[in-house]
Amino acid sequence: MNRTIRTTCPYCGVGCGVLATVAADGTTEIRGDPEHPANFGRLCSKGAALGETLGHSERLLHPEILGKACDWNTALDAVANGFARTIREHGPDSVAFYVSGQLLTEDYYVANKLMKGFIGSANIDTNSRLCMSSSVAGHQRAFGSDTVPGNYQDLELATLIVLIGSNTAWCHPVIYQRIRAAKEKNPDLKIVVIDPRQTATSEIADLHLPVKPGSDALLFNGLLAYLHDRGDINTHFVDSFTEGMQPALDAAHACARSMAAVAAGCGLREPDVTRFYQWFSVNEKTVSVYSQGINQTSSGTDKVNAIINCHLLTGRIGRPGMGPFSVTGQPNAMGGREVGGLANQLAAHMNFDAGNVDRVRRFWNSSNVAQKPGLKAVDLFRAVGEGRIKALWIMATNPAVSLPDADRVRQALAQCEFVVVSDCVRATDTTAYAQVLLPASAWGEKNGTVTNSERRLSRQRAFLEPAGEARPDWWIVSEVARRLGYAQAFDYHSPADIFREHAALSGFENDGQRDFDLGALATLGDAEYEGFSPIQWPVPRDRPQGTPRMFADGRFFTENRKARFVAVTPRGPANEKDDEYPLALNTGRVRDHWHTLTRTGLSPRLSGHIVEPFAEVHPQDARQYGIHDGMLVTLTTRWGEMLARAHVTETQRPGSVFAPMHWNDQYARRARADALVNPVTDPVSGQPEFKHTPVNVAPYPAAWHAFLLSRRRLDITEASYCARATGQGFWRYELAGETPSWDWPRWARALLCAAPENDTRPEWIDYLDSGAGQYRGARLLGGRLESCLFVARTPELPARDWLASLFSRDTLTREERMHLLAGTLPSQAAAVSGGIVCACFSVGKNSIIDAIREKRLGTAEEVGQCLKAGTNCGSCIPEIKALLRQAQSAA
């Protein structure tokens, strides 16, 4: 019988509700939960494909020590002994945990309690440091607490939405869908997109401001000065509920002397800046949404405060349809903030003030609570490299890929005395450095809570049995704590036990003094926890229905309960471009992948959208540096280098290069963008400057290019460039190398025949033109296509789509065999080629272009009626609209 479980998506901070239906045959169907207030049934392409990521092929199934499987007791004893010995010999600050926004709140709480409450060090930091710690710091400076004021409904009530440093359409797609729906309902809703790049999000913009990288603080200081000069001040709000306005205005006026000066400083047209300021001035219901483009810079905290200042001046906070709104990257970045997962927070939104330390000490009944903040992520790994941290436990994250200066991080891990990794995936770039590997439960197997960007707590529920010997993270940490001698404090039997304690701590001696209060949930029974419905914190004892908006009463969490303006003096990026590195590298995400590909890389339809690492370059820069669209390029910075496919596009700002952060050694060779990123951090938040590293771009001198499709996963060591993507029934490899001559037929046979699966003699169809450097070969077993390899001196090779489609067939027709080496049937030259646009229905770019041309389609709705593209999750609608625009301008 089918079972349907209500849970939440494990990807981004939108926190969509998901219905997972497990059929009797074990398959799982995923749908959006129509009752969840974050998404009301919507899902994006990533959420919709969750069912494709549940297999066990890549899972870590058993504990391991030094690569050998062992039982849990042996592994847990090894972890406890390793940490105990290090603490005994070198003190508590010689050990650290590096945790993740993928953990559930209960996992996070236990890890934080062990490190800060019992080991006695605050050396626990989370990968959320990389994503939104500047927003945390900005909130704390302005509000005295890390509080997101509003909620998603405000986006539907606003008359102006400003999206700053946020490719919402790709990174928070369901928020984007809600904004798009709001605009369709209310055409007067104005949308301003502030981003150096023209992204899919710009599709719905009434105004796109392609700001010079790093100039956002100047733009918002200019806005503050403009609003003040025009008298757009909510005097009652400012006088009653804020302090520090004049120094903030002085700083704003000092740098934004005129509209022309602001426009020049931001690299914008003056009329566009004026229009933005006028719209902000007249639209009281304004929501300013900001994300990694603001946070991931060396002055991210100041930028956050420059935005908040404008809302404080106009009193646009705490009421429906308005407010500054930081959207978080990860599914439980907020939960991590709540428990104290950041090294500079103690627990439950309390810092390290003596009163808080004493309060937490009494609550946890521990005499060993950490007294001071610990090391933030970048500093923490620097300390590992310098030998100051000697034992490190990494939970559910992949720092060898995702931290800046990632090669240095690898060196640090390689020389660290004791590295433990708990993860659900066996082979990541980070697990390669672990002495002890602990198998953790994955999404679908875990139980607990998460908090989304609008402070809404929801349950993640298990609907699958754990793979192999996998265990929940809270159980793993508690077992180690028990072995360290803290059995009584970690005597948990379920996540509900932990949640009640977490809620009780948040309400302990609170009385409205601290923003984070779940006091009303501290006595939740097990059945109530199981049936828990989404709710927005705070949920204090006297407000059990939760709190949709904060600060409606004008009372903040500073000592005098007033919000603080922050005087901001704009600063540029820490490392400026120069002659050697003349462009600015900006890193980010793509629509259908998540972080380091450990899950989305398993899904054929998600992997079909963008199959390899790329670098977007403006045509002007491409001309200057001899780069053509589709060629391989080398990106080099002072910190590292990578190879990527060049996308020459006018959507990129001249002088800048964009590269995605997802690819790593498991999916590509020499393609880790974060190895290039400078490790400079914001001095207040500790967040790294992922958005600006000086970079050089040059054509990669490949002697040959190739692609290979194979039913069997291969280890291709001969190619200097190798990117792997999952297809439907096959693996796709994009290859290139520098060695000029090669015996291709022999190489193909050696590589592809290495492990024959049955006794059938393979059949080869191949063609070699040594003079032209061309080879095309196909290998069939029993009439079924097993693999094919296409090689040329240039990247111009046949489209992969028709060949890929043959892997779903058991035999090929005579005509198909005849055209195998051409790479396509004459009649189907453009069937689905050009790459997947609609991941839900596998509709390719060229199919859409053909339909637009042949059927004279004029709108995304018409494309949807004709091909179904864009009619499910809607994530591809911006791309469909861009194709429509291209077709219209070509016509």
Which residues would be at the binding site for ligand SF4 (CB under 6 A)? 9, 11-12, 14-16, 39, 43-44, 46-47, 172-174
- For ligand SF4, the closer of residues 14 and 535 by Cβ is 14
- For ligand SF4, the closer of residues 47 and 538 by Cβ is 47
Q: Which of 721, 720, 772, 713 is nearest to 744 (CA)?
A: 772
Question: From residue 798, how far is each of 707, 774, 826, 831 by CA, in Å?
Answer: 9, 12, 12, 13
Q: What is the SS3 string spanning 508-569?
A: CCCCCCCCCCCHHHCCCCHHHHHCCCCEECCCCCCCCCCCCCCCCCCCCCCCCCCEECCCCC
Which single residue brings its beta carbon nearest to ligand SF4? 47
- For ligand SF4, the closer of residues 31 and 85 by Cβ is 31
SS3 59: strand
Minimum CB distance to ligand SF4, residue 742 (Å): 42
Return the DSSP state at 93: G
- For ligand SF4, the closer of residues 145 and 458 by Cβ is 458
Minimum CB distance to ligand SF4, residue 798 (Å): 34
Minimum CB distance to ligand SF4, residue 807 (Å): 28
- For ligand SF4, the closer of residues 14 and 217 by Cβ is 14
Minimum CB distance to ligand SF4, residue 12 (Å): 3
- For ligand SF4, the closer of residues 17 and 318 by Cβ is 17
Minimum CB distance to ligand SF4, residue 173 (Å): 5
Between CA 368 and CA 373 the distance in angstroms is 14
458 bridge partner residues: 450
Between CA 308 and CA 496 the distance in angstroms is 36
Minimum CB distance to ligand SF4, residue 423 (Å): 20
- For ligand SF4, the closer of residues 43 and 735 by Cβ is 43
- For ligand SF4, the closer of residues 39 and 846 by Cβ is 39
Minimum CB distance to ligand SF4, residue 32 (Å): 7
SS3 497: helix
- For ligand SF4, the closer of residues 174 and 843 by Cβ is 174
Q: In what order do the strands lie in the sheet with 323-326?
A: 207-209, 190-194, 160-164, 286-290, 323-326
Minimum CB distance to ligand SF4, residue 881 (Å): 19
Between CA 578 and CA 642 the distance in angstroms is 19
- For ligand SF4, the closer of residues 8 and 135 by Cβ is 8
Question: Which residues make Cβ contacts (< 8 Å) with residue 8, sequence separation at least 6?
Answer: 15, 16, 17, 18, 36, 331, 450, 452, 458, 459, 460
SS3 808: helix
CB neighbour burial string for 771-808, b if at least 16 within 10 angstroms, e if fewer: eebbbbbbbbbeebbbbbbbbbeebebbbbbbbbbbbe
- For ligand SF4, the closer of residues 9 and 322 by Cβ is 9
Question: Which residues make Cβ contacts (< 8 Å) with residue 433, sequence separation at least 6?
Answer: 400, 410, 413, 414, 416, 419, 421
Minimum CB distance to ligand SF4, residue 358 (Å): 39
Q: Could you tell me if 244 and 141 are in contact, meaning their C-beta atoms sit under 8 angstroms apart?
A: no
Q: Could you tell me if 577 and 804 are in contact, meaning their C-beta atoms sit under 8 angstroms apart?
A: no
Between CA 730 and CA 279 the distance in angstroms is 52
Q: What is the DSSP string of 614-671?
A: EEEE-HHHHHHTT--TT-EEEEE-SS-EEEEEEEE-TTSPTTEEEEES---TTTBSS-
326 bridge partner residues: 290
- For ligand SF4, the closer of residues 44 and 115 by Cβ is 44
SS3 746: helix
Question: Which residues make Cβ contacts (< 8 Å) with residue 750, sequence separation at least 6?
Answer: none
Q: Could you tell me if 807 and 709 are in contact, meaning their C-beta atoms sit under 8 angstroms apart?
A: yes
Minimum CB distance to ligand SF4, residue 873 (Å): 8
Pairing between β-strand 323-326 and β-strand 391-395 as defined by DSSP bridges: unpaired
- For ligand SF4, the closer of residues 15 and 149 by Cβ is 15
- For ligand SF4, the closer of residues 447 and 452 by Cβ is 452
How many other C-beta atoms can be found within 10 angstroms of the C-beta atom of residue 11? Answer: 26
- For ligand SF4, the closer of residues 17 and 777 by Cβ is 17
Minimum CB distance to ligand SF4, residue 172 (Å): 6
Look at the block and give the residue holding tokens 């050694």: 665
Minimum CB distance to ligand SF4, residue 502 (Å): 22
Minimum CB distance to ligand SF4, residue 202 (Å): 19
Minimum CB distance to ligand SF4, residue 456 (Å): 12
SS3 451: strand
Whether omega before 538 lies within 30 degrees of 0, making that bond cis, reads yes
Minimum CB distance to ligand SF4, residue 43 (Å): 4
Return the DSSP state at 761: P
- For ligand SF4, the closer of residues 18 and 617 by Cβ is 18
Minimum CB distance to ligand SF4, residue 13 (Å): 7
Q: Could you tell me if 301 and 684 are in contact, meaning their C-beta atoms sit under 8 angstroms apart?
A: yes
Q: Could you tell me if 740 and 747 are in contact, meaning their C-beta atoms sit under 8 angstroms apart?
A: no
Instruction: Please give the backbone phi and psi of residue 358, each rounded to the nearest 5 degrees, phi first.
Output: -65, -40
